[in-house]
């Protein structure tokens, strides 16, 4: 019975993950189709290449360019990075241009682009970066990817040991610069794109680490036995004990380490100050917490 329950939970988890990745990719495509492409903003990566070709070679649909580029990069990735990378990348790489194609058709039929006339570039950059950043954040959070130049970044890391951040900014920078040189976008728009990149990056971090509002609490106290009991019984939280040595006093002590919510920490702090006013403790923000009591029961 437990085995069947576990299997059902695992299946539901996978379904949620794939639905979330699909939603994330849809948001990315929406931002591109509604804000980025109509304004000829070259945002870097394969999407930026799609905008450049669409503008410079009329008749080439950006969705087709992105799809063709992703297929070529997927083949290169399969050869140089292996099957595991290919399987994790293929889904997002293929549905991203499909969503772009569908959104382009729907927006053209419904004539939603008329709303862009009343938007200035600042609003376009803000809304597009928030929506696309949220989409990318959701995709990354659930282990997905939209492929594209990420394949080149991983190849550069594996074979040339170039950090992801360096290769990402280099590739995106080249594409943005090409957009300006080929007069697809003005220098002014190029500067707006840089703002877009920083804003979307901030939103990505916000989404990826959303919900992880936990604190790691480190406690050294002469009343550690009593504090242990309170954490285990009253707060029903697990904790670990680490043997430490104070270099000034050369005294061996034990340090308690516990992960809890911000509200729980505030309550624990008051209790510690009451039990042992001389206790030494500090707290740091835990960006992500996984394990029993946090990500599963």
Q: Give the model's confidence band at 279: pLDDT under 50 very low, under 70 low, under 90 confident, else very high.
A: very high
For the chain, which domains are there? 2-208 (no CATH), 214-286 (3.30.70.120)
142 alpha carbon, distance to own chain's centre? 9
Rounded average pLDDT over 12-20: 87
Tens digit of each residue's pLDDT (9 = 90 or more) over 57-84: 887 888 999 999 999 998 998 888 887 7
Q: What is the pLDDT of residue 12?
A: 86
Say what the pTM is. 0.75
pLDDT of residue 297: 45
The yes-or-no verdict on residue 295 having pLDDT over 60 is no
Q: Range with the lowest mean pLDDT among 118-122, 222-226, 278-282, 289-293?
A: 289-293
What average pLDDT does the structure give for the chain? 86
Q: In whole angstroms, give the CA distance from residue 187 to residue 179.
A: 9
Largest pairwise CA distance in the chain: 77
Percent of the chain clearing pLDDT 90 (strictly above) = 40
What tens digit of pLDDT does each residue of 25-51 get? 999 999 999 999 988 999 988 999 999
The full DSSP string for 124-173 is HHHHHHHHHHHHHHHHHHTT----TTHHHHHHHHHHH---HHHHHHHHHH
Q: What is the pLDDT of residue 98?
A: 94
Query: Among the listed ranges 3-12, 30-39, 244-253, 264-273, which one has the minimum average pLDDT value?
Result: 3-12
pLDDT tens-place string over residues 107-154: 888 877 777 767 889 999 999 999 999 998 898 888 788 888 888 888
Contacts of 122 (CB under 8 A, 6+ apart): none
CA atoms within 13 A on the CB side of 62: 28
């Amino acid at each position: 019975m437990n085995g069947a329950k576990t299997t059902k939970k695992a299946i539901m988890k996978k379904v949620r993950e794939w639905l979330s990745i699909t939603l994330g990719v849809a948001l990315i495509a929406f931002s591109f189709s509604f804000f980025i492409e109509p304004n000829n903003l070259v945002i870097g990566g394969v999407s930026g290449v799609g905008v450049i070709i669409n503008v410079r070679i009329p008749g080439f649909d950006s969705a087709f360019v992105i799809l063709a580029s992703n297929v070529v990069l997927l083949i290169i990735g399969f050869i140089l990075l292996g099957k595991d990378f290919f399987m994790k990348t293929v889904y997002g790489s293929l549905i991203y241009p499909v969503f772009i194609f569908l959104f382009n058709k729907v927006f053209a039929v419904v004539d939603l682009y008329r709303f862009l006339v009343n938007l200035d570039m600042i609003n376009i950059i803000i809304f597009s970066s928030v929506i696309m950043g949220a989409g990318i954040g959701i995709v990354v959070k659930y282990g997905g990817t939209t492929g594209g130049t990420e394949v080149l970044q991983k190849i550069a890391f594996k074979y040339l040991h170039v950090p992801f951040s360096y290769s990402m900014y280099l590739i995106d920078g080249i594409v943005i610069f090409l957009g300006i040189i080929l007069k697809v976008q003005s220098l002014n728009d190029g500067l707006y794109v840089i703002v877009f990149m920083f804003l979307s990056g901030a939103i990505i971090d916000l989404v990826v680490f959303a919900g992880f509002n936990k604190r790691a609490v480190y406690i050294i106290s002469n009343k550690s036995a009593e504090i242990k009991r309170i954490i285990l019984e009253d707060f029903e939280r697990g904790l670990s004990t680490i043997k430490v040595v104070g270099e000034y006093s050369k005294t061996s002590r034990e340090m308690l380490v516990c992960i809890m919510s911000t509200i729980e920490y505030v309550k624990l702090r008051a209790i510690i100050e009451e039990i042992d006013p001389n206790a030494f403790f500090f707290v740091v923000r835990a960006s992500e917490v996984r394990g029993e009591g946090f990500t599963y029961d």
